[in-house]
Chain A
Amino acid sequence: MDDRAAMPERLAAFLSAVDPDRGRASCVHYEPMAGGYSRSMARATVTWSDGTTTVTETVVLRGDPPPGQALIETDRDAEWLVHQALTQLGALDLPAARYYDATGEHLGTKCIVMDFCEGESLQTWLEGRDDLAEQAILLAEQLAQIHQVRVADLPAELERPPDPERVIDDLIDLWEVIDRQHVNNSPIYRYVNTWLRANRPAPMPPTLVHGDFQNPNIMIDGAGERRMIDWEFAHIGDPREDIGWYNLYSSVAGTNLYQADPAGFLARYRELTGFDPADVNEWTVGYFTIVAAAKVAYEVLNAINGLATGAVRSTMAAHQAVGAITTGNGIYLDLIAGLEQAEEAS
């Protein structure tokens, strides 16, 4: 996907083959994009011509990096399944998933082609703003919209948790795997997974979970319209995973809208979803800030393990090893201390 010379022709041939009703596609501009830490991305300007009319549009390509270079390994088939289904449902604001090279024979890697979102990410858009409490409410509304998608409307192939109790247990089990498989013995991971198991909250009915809900994955255009991107971690699980992961990611990378007004955020979120304050509150969000980190932490630590054993060659993994992991460790410890204090106080 990084081959600027070959990709325009390959993309044009793929699009012409996969959507012949639109005529012949030509790729007039192609450039790799930064912005994702997991997938290879590129932006392309495509012209469709059926002999009488010509239409120009911009699309985004999202595929797998070369083997051994990915920071996070996820399944493109699974991402396409969810993204395409959500596009067809029309219940959420997101860039339409248009085409999929399911084998990689056309584009060199399994690759999703989707609409390009004009504008910028919420991460950069928020810089310098002083209305964060107001933005927290808008974020709560966007998240509630995702969690209100009817599970019955999602593809049957998308795995349903057989037992809501297992959703949290599976995440704790993943922390245990992290502890056992990490190339370094880390007392913090042992402490975290032992604590999580001893303090597990009640489960909630499963919902659609974005799985990587964070400011950089929300695009906002000039009119203020927001679109949710990067559905690679989407699954059916506990809705609090998304709030917890948002809280952790934003504590590491900056502009944490949840922390700008936790009470306001949760009140608006509960109002829209109808969830019970006993299930969705600052304590459970704190718990899920730790437990929901397991999925991404597992992938990142796998890459770091690979770097240590020589199986992975990724500067991104080196970069994560020296900053993200250590920052996350401090957050887990501080959160547990805070949650224990809150429990004692109550």
Chain B
Amino acid sequence: MIPRPSTAQLLQQCRRDLVDVVIPQVADETTAVTLEQIQMVLDVCAHRADNEIHDLVAETAEMEAFVAAALDDHPEGLPRTRASFDAALAQRPDGLRTPAIGAFHDLVAGAFSDAIEELMGMGDGRRVAEAVAWMRDVRQPREMAGTENWAMPGRG
């Protein structure tokens, strides 16, 4: 691997040329909108390249801890959560390749979703509030990071 320039830097360089050189030369309205969308995708991808592995691993661990705690609280009460969580843990990857950790993240997120639904169904407001606070205050800022320049080009 050649770490520098980083993937983010390479993407940002391409994006800069797209914005400064290519788009101003494009007269066709629909093509210009597509290029604007591409430069915004590149911008987010640059951020993602720097953070994707860290965020996937961190988020998976956070969801895993929540589901484990909820199952401890309700040893008999969350049957679907327990089944999906056990199925997820059986698929834990042993490396850091993005597709593998992404697939594991997805399985744990499925168990986390089941936990939210079952906890809401049984009226465990404390745990539901904890899950919602995590989605709002931890997960959502991660999802939004890097989208500062995102907009809806061509609308209007």
Contact = CB atoms under 8 A, between A and B. Distances in A.
Interface in A1-21: 2
Given A34-B32, A191-B135, A121 B143 contact: no
Interface stretch (A44-52, A151-159, A232-240, A322-330): A322-330
B135 A187 contact: yes
For the residues of B in contact with A, the DSSP-based class is helix
Given A185-B107, A315-B34, A322-B150, A190 B132 contact: no
A187 B116 contact: yes
Interface string A53-75: 00000000000000000000000
Contact of A216 (B121, B132, B156): B156
A253 B155 contact: yes
Given A32-B30, A187-B112, A327-B147, A333 B41 contact: no
B38 interface: yes
B30 A187 contact: no
User: What class of interface size applies to chain B in its complex with A?
Assistant: 35 or more
A179 interface: yes
B79 to A, nearest CB: 16
Given A185-B107, A185-B110, A326-B143, A333 B132 contact: yes
Interface string B62-99: 01000000000000000000000000000000000000
B41 A123 contact: no
A296 to B, nearest CB: 13
26 contacts: A2-B30, A34-B32, A35-B155, A37-B154, A121-B155, A179-B113, A185-B107, A185-B109, A187-B63, A187-B109, A187-B116, A187-B131, A188-B135, A189-B113, A191-B113, A194-B120, A198-B120, A215-B156, A253-B151, A318-B37, A322-B41, A322-B44, A322-B147, A327-B150, A333-B135, A337-B132
